[in-house]
Amino acid sequence: MNKKQQRGQSLTETAILMPVLVLLIMGLIQVAQMYKAKATLNHATVQAARAGATENGFLNPMRNALAQTLAPAEYRVKPNEDPNMLSYFAFQQLFRFNETIRGSGAGGVKINVLSPTQQMFDSFRQRVRTLEPCRGVGCPSGGKFRESQPIWQIPNDNLNVYSDAQRSINGRPINLQDANLLKIESTWCYPLRVPFINAIIYQAMKTFRADGGYQHEQWTACRNRRVISRHDYWIPLTSTSVVRMQSPLRCENNPRGGSNCDNLQ
């Protein structure tokens, strides 16, 4: 084989292998970005759970904490925008408070409280009275606080004085200590931005997921977000976190009734 033939063979081999090598490098870049995004989401979920633990398990504090942590990864401040408003812009983009978009279910992030459930709340709740601020004639003895109307909550302090008896909830033995563990799951619709390889990864994940794949509700939210975004390929990343409640768990938007709580399933 002469030198011209050797050069021709080398060019042919390079032409065959180069696209494979380029795709491999692009795939490594995309996987590295996904790993970084998952680590960011894990940290954000922990921060959200901590916020919920100190704020009676309400969703809005958890959403704020999640948005603040995901803000640098989710939103880039435009030249005419105030960088100090980064968390606000990210919050709007992540949770989509615009009514038209909200109706499509196209939120960028979703938080679910996995535990306690509504059944656990109904089983361990107690009616208590707390102090609420007041002014004028409505305040006793000219003070600044008065006793509120009774509200329902799961107690979280001095648990040693309460019964530790277990109750069967959905076939599982649960006690008051278990009901004071806040477990949340967050789902983030993450955009795959590396060209070509993003379509391959998207189709592979959509096809081989074990949780129902493309028809799963997490994928549905990401598909809806795809319609209103310039990015074509969104995948759901999920993370869970468990923390002990640092405040009594209460029913969001219905503390006195204790039913149909926005923060409980």
At 46-76, the pLDDT tens digits run: 999 999 999 999 988 898 888 888 877 766 6
Number of domains comprising the chain: 1
Q: What is the DSSP string of 169-229?
A: ETTEEE-HHHHTEEEEEEEEEEEP-STTHHHHHHHHHHHH-TT-GGGSHHHHHHHHHHHTS
- Residue 9 maps to a domain: yes
The per-residue pLDDT for 7 is 56
- Residue 221 maps to a domain: yes
Which residue type does 204 have?
A
Q: Within a 13 Å sphere around the CA of 219, how many CA atoms are in the beta-carbon half?
A: 14
The per-residue pLDDT for 14 is 73
- Residue 111 maps to a domain: yes
- Residue 150 maps to a domain: no
Check the CA dihedral 231-90-46-258 and report its sign.
Answer: negative
- Residue 148 maps to a domain: no
The per-residue pLDDT for 110 is 81
What residues have CB less than 8 Å from 221, skipping those under 6 apart?
A: 105, 106, 107, 110, 187, 189, 236
Q: Identify the burial level of 202 via C-beta atoms within 10 angstroms of its C-beta, where 0-12 means exposed, 13-18 middle and 19 or more buried.
A: middle
Beta pairing partners, 191: 234
- Residue 43 maps to a domain: yes
- Residue 173 maps to a domain: no
The per-residue pLDDT for 45 is 93
The per-residue pLDDT for 77 is 59
The low-confidence residues of the chain, meaning pLDDT below 70, are 1-10, 74-108, 138, 141-142, 209-218, 220-221, 223-232
Q: Where are the alpha helices (DSSP H) in the chain?
A: 3-54, 59-74, 86-95, 99-103, 118-124, 176-179, 197-208, 217-227
Query: Could you give the CA distance from residue 257 to residue 128 in angstroms, rounded to a whole number?
Result: 12
The per-residue pLDDT for 3 is 56
The per-residue pLDDT for 47 is 93
Retrieve residue 165's tokens.
Answer: 């008896």
The per-residue pLDDT for 100 is 33
The per-residue pLDDT for 106 is 42
- Residue 155 maps to a domain: no
> pTM score > 0.85 for this model?
no
The per-residue pLDDT for 84 is 60
The per-residue pLDDT for 228 is 52
Domain that holds residue 70: 3-119+179-250
The per-residue pLDDT for 98 is 35
Query: Could you give the CA distance from residue 221 to residue 236 in angstroms, rounded to a whole number?
Result: 8
The per-residue pLDDT for 127 is 87
Write out the E strands in 99-166: 109-115, 126-128, 131-133, 145-147, 151-154
